[in-house]
Amino acid sequence: MYRVVGALRRSSARHAISRGDNLASFWSLTERIKLGAGYYSNYAASNIVQSKLPTHSSLDKDVGHKQHEFRNKDLKRYDGTNNQEQRTSSELLTKPVGRNISVVEKRKFLINALFDLNDSKESVYGTLDAWVASEPTFPLASLRKALLVLEKHEQWHRIVQVIKWILSKGQGNTMGTYELLIKALEKDNRAEEAHKIWESKISHNLCSVSWPFCDLMLSIYYRNNMLDRLVKLFRCLESYGRKPPRKSIIRKVADAYEMLGLSEEKDKLLTDYSYLFDNSNENRRKYNKSKEAKKGGN
């Protein structure tokens, strides 16, 4: 019997819910099923039904209690989450999020990136642009040290790319920068481009160009069979009263005269600078004294 009553109650409940009846009618229906089945055999039917039927006040009270319980439960859960967020925020305020990257570490990162990049101009320029984007001032000192590392590893093509990028930013416009650029271009089999940069940027002021830089350009002309340009540059230096400090320079010029068929110029050159080939200390002292006298007069 109780199984039948349970089945009837479940089917009636589904029927009531599907019809959209309210809670009071559903409650009354279930209690009538219990009464008809003898569930309340020891009690008066009128009292049982009357006591079991919910009133509007009891329903409102029950719903209000459930809502209050839900609000309290939800409020506790929110407070817990909020406290956790506050603890996390306080930890972030008391502990550093990250650490400052030193200049040395930034430079190492740049050098490693330059070694790993391909030969594309866009990739090199993009990497350099991104590297200096966060710097308050242009990091020319770090770039020069990076160039020294690249030079040590003979990364001539990459040196050319980096220096041209530096010059495009209006930075590094010095003799040292152009000297390394011309050296890297010649090592990268671009002697003609090195000559053009020399002519456009350096040759107009030979008085202030150091002898090592001039010797570099003479050697580039000599190695690449640009003998006319070699002789022209040497004569320009002589016209400014500049005397070569080493006999290796005279040998290159003498060989150029010989290959060009200028024997008389070669003999005169060797005569004028014979003191560089004389190993006696007396001639060396005379040359050094004359050099110091010229510096004192200037």
Residue 95 — φ and ψ, nearest 5°? -110, 145
Domain segments of the chain as ranges? 1-54, 103-173, 201-298
- Encode the chain (298 residues) as per-residue pLDDT tens digits: 445 445 545 555 455 444 444 444 444 444 444 444 444 444 444 444 444 445 555 545 554 555 555 444 443 433 444 444 344 344 434 444 445 777 788 888 888 888 988 888 899 999 999 989 878 889 999 999 999 999 999 999 999 999 999 999 999 999 999 999 999 999 999 999 999 999 999 999 899 999 999 999 999 999 999 999 999 999 999 999 999 999 999 999 999 999 999 999 999 999 999 999 887 655 555 555 555 555 555 5
Residues contacting residue 170 through CB under 8 Å, at least 6 positions apart: none
Among the listed residues 142, 184, 138, 139, the one whose alpha carbon sits nearest the alpha carbon of residue 161 = 184
| pLDDT value, residue 118 | 84
Q: How far apart are CA 44 and CA 281, in angstroms?
A: 143
Q: Is 246 helix (H, G, I), strand (E, B) or coil?
A: coil
Whether 245 contacts 213, CB under 8 Å: no
Residues contacting residue 110 through CB under 8 Å, at least 6 positions apart: 127, 128, 131, 142, 143, 146
| pLDDT value, residue 135 | 84
Whether 52 contacts 27, CB under 8 Å: yes
Residue with tokens 């060396």: 284
| pLDDT value, residue 180 | 97
Q: How far apart are CA 62 and CA 78, in angstroms?
A: 24
Q: Is the dihedral of CA 198, 224, 159, 154 positive or negative?
A: negative
| pLDDT value, residue 105 | 85
Half-sphere CA count of 161, side-chain side, radius 13 A: 20
| pLDDT value, residue 292 | 54
| pLDDT value, residue 213 | 96
| pLDDT value, residue 215 | 96
DSSP secondary structure string, 88-119?
HHHHHHHS-SS-PPPHHHHHHHHHHHHHHS-S
Q: How many residues does the chain have?
A: 298
| pLDDT value, residue 126 | 93
Among the listed residues 264, 265, 255, the one whose alpha carbon sits nearest the alpha carbon of residue 230 = 255
